[in-house]
Structure 1
Amino acid sequence: MNGWPKCFVLAYKIIRDIAWKIRIEHNGENQWVPSPRDLNEITWSISTPSFENIEWKKMGAPSDLIRVSQPTDQVTHLDFGEIEDIAWSEKCRSLAVMYSGMGQHEEALFWLNAGIEAFFDEGFKMISEELGKPELLDEISSPKAFWLPADEVVTSQFPDMVGKINWPDDKIHVSMYAKLKFLYKNYNMKTSVKKLQKEYRVISKNRNDLFHGKEKVGITPETIQKALQSFAWIKENFKLASE
């Protein structure tokens, strides 16, 4: 809530803390935890025994949007055509935008990270189909992809070791960074892997602290806006160079 008047920040903190107290300690699991946008307006005054209302103000919430429109009798017709399932990555991105607008920045970051992981998985499938290589999905999750970063580090220092190291072939979890690096090393993509990983890092850099339960992660509206911009960039540029 950077930039909000202090009275709204304090009021929201009090209301939020009370809501959590009711939710956790007084059987309030079904109660909605308020967001900053739920505060409509605040009235405050300063008084003394001798003088009332030395200062009096009434202020609307900074996050309230006021829209002015002129009524019209025109009927809007929407042609949905054939309705198809919306990609899970796009649903996640949309949820992130919604929670960001409510001031729930941690929730927004959660959905952005779920969305970008889903988008990459959707992209891997699409690229494998465009290349006519269904085996690509197995390749990017293989031990070869997992050990690729380590192989590059070793062979950059000892060039004579290129192709001579027998890395373990046990099945192992491959990180998204390793999957992307393997894909970009072996196929001609639109952008460099460094640029893609830089944009991906904008979205994922606070993820571990958030997902592993650290209370103070420092997620601000600016954090979410930058992550949304990176999401849009990746969505536009994660594709084969031939497109």
Structure 2
Amino acid sequence: MDFLLAHEPLIRLAAFASVLGAVAVLEAALPRRRRGFGRWRRWPSNLGIVVLDTIVLRLVFPMAAVGVALALEGRGIGLLPWLGLPAVVAVPVAVVLLDLAIYLQHRVFHAVPLLWRLHRMHHADLDFDVTTGFRFHPGEILLSMAFKLVVVAALGAPAAAVLVFEVLLNAGSMFSHANLQLPGWLDRVLRLVVVTPDMHRVHHSVDRRETDSNFGFNLAIWDRVFGTYRPQPAAGHEGMTIGIEAFRDPAELRLDRMLTQPVRGERR
């Protein structure tokens, strides 16, 4: 575990690249929807925003969530140390509670107009594939990390749990945004536990009622518990429109346009 924590950035990069490559291959072999725009039209900007987000995040929060968890470990700070849970219990509990926190944060970003202006860049993608899973505005990434640090400290989450959660969050986001055709029976079984591409694609519908549903990234239970679960889009997965009304121009897929979207377009 000491080795894993010491090499946290490398582990996260390796996991990111591996999942991205695997899901991209599966998408090409088993696509769910016909692409409206080729990869060369969208991927440079979506991958570019990842590089920019990573640089900005490391400059503003050099310790990141795992670093904060390491700094607090052994000091008895937070809910889990107060409860005296052994590590074998504290780690999975912390992962589940962190996932719940991200679900709630996601709902807040939809509900608060100023936060929606940042988050809507994620929804403004005119196609839905693995790269949509990491297409977030730097402003949202910074606010999300600040919130995550508060939650990690409040929970007293073990550093190992934070590392596991970060890897799962990134991998889950890429998988749930995949343009991937899963067998119907497999999708039904998987979405009892985790968020599947068909489940999350509903969330990227242009229809506001569908946009405000299926907020989960990893665990599927939260949408059912809090009443935000919608099984399928009204128009079907092949017929539904991806994106938001404010940014339908293909020029909005450019990186420079993506970065200025929070200060342009209609209010929610």
- Tell me which interval the TM-score lies in, with the shorter structure as reference length: under 0.3
Q: Of the two structures, which has the highest relative contact order with CA contacts closer than 8 Å and spacing of 6 or more?
A: 2
TM-score of the aligned structures, taking structure 2 as reference length: 0.24
The answer to which structure has the higher helix fraction is 2
Larger Rg: 1
- Structure ranking higher in strand proportion: 1
